[in-house]
Structure 1
C-alpha cells in the first residue's frame, strides 16, 4: 500500500525549492491567504500524519509532496517536544518558540532533505523561503495544539506517534 500523497500536487504555485501554497491564516506575511473553503496543506499534513508515519518510503509525485514530507517531519519534532509537557498553554509556548528558532534551509549542510530539495537560487529567495517555512511552522504549531489537547491533557492517540520515525528520520532539524 503506498503512502498518501498531497492533493495540492497539481496546483500552480510559485516555487522556491517547494511550492508556495496558500494557507488559512489571519497573519499577512509570506504565505498567500487561501480564499476558498476547505483544507490547506497544513490541514492535509495533520490529517495524513498518522497514516503516513507507517511508511519508510515516500514516492514524490509533485512539489506539494515535498512540502508534505517537510511538515510531517516537523509534526514529528513537535510531538517529541510536547511529550514532555503537561498542558496546552506550555505546549503552545514551546511550539511557538521552536517555530521561530534558527533552522536549516534546503542547501544547508544540516538540512536532512537536501536530496529532495533544490537550493534557493538567490539570497532573496532563501529569505522568502525561510519566512514562508517559519509561518507554516507557527500555523502548524497552533493547529496541532488544538488537535492534541483535550481537556488540557494531551491525547494519547496523538502522543503514541511521538516516537515513530517517518522515512527513518527523527525530524527536520534545528540549528543550535
Structure 2
C-alpha cells in the first residue's frame, strides 16, 4: 500500500525554499495566504491529520511535490505533539502544552538540527523569517486541532491516538537528540 500524498501537489502555489506556501483555515495570526474556505474544504493541516495514522508507518516517502514536503514536516510535528499530549493531565493543560511547543525554538531546513536537510532547500535571504513565521503558524494550528482530535470531549487523551507516540515517521523526529518534549 503506498503512502498518502497531498492533493495540493496538483495546484500551483507559491513556495518558501522548496516548501509549498499554502493557505490555512486558521484563526492564528501569521503570513499564510488568506483564502475563504468552505466548511467542507480541507487544508493541508486537515489532510495531514486525516492521513497521519496511515502515513506514520512508512519508513520511506516519495516526494511528489512541494506540498508533500509541507505534509512531511507537519507529520513529523504531529508525532512530537502526540508525545507531548500523552503526558498532559487534562485538556486545558494540553492546549497550553501545544502552544508552548509550537512557539518553542525549532530548526529550519539548512540548519544543523533539521532532520531532513537532504530533501529541503535552505530558505534564502528574506525567506528565512517568512518560513519561520509560516511554520510557527502551521504548528500552532496543527496543535489546536490535534488537541481536539486526541481529547475530543474528554479530559483524558484517547489511547487510539497516544498509541502512535512511539512511532517515528521515516525514522525521523523534529526533536533533536537529548532534548525532551
TM-score, length basis structure 2:
0.92
Partner of residue 19, structure 1: 20
- In the alignment, is residue 139 of structure 1 matched against residue 146 of structure 2? no
SS in 2 for 1:154: coil
- In the alignment, is residue 58 of structure 1 matched against residue 84 of structure 2? no
* TM-fit CA distance, 1:25: 1.2
TM-score, length basis structure 1:
0.94
C-alpha contact (below 8 Å) 1:3/1:58 kept by paired residues:
yes
**Map of 1:10-159 to 2, 5 A cutoff?**
10-17=10-17, 18-37=19-38, 38-122=41-125, 124-150=126-152, 151-159=154-162
Across the aligned residues of Structure 1 and Structure 2, the Cα RMSD in angstroms comes to 1.4
Compared with structure 1, are the counterparts of its residues 163 and 127 closer, same or farther at alpha carbon in structure 2 (3 Å cutoff)?
A: same
C-alpha contact (below 8 Å) 1:100/1:134 kept by paired residues:
yes
Instruction: Quote the Cα distance in structure 1 between the aligned partners of 2:64 and 2:90.
Output: 38
Instruction: Quote the Cα distance in structure 1 between the aligned partners of 2:176 and 2:95.
Output: 18
Q: How many residues align?
A: 174
After the TM superposition, list the runs of 4 or more consecutive aligned residues in structure 1 that deviate by more than 3 angstroms.
none
Larger fraction in helix: 2
Instruction: Quote the Cα distance in structure 2 between the aligned partners of 1:33 and 1:148.
Output: 27
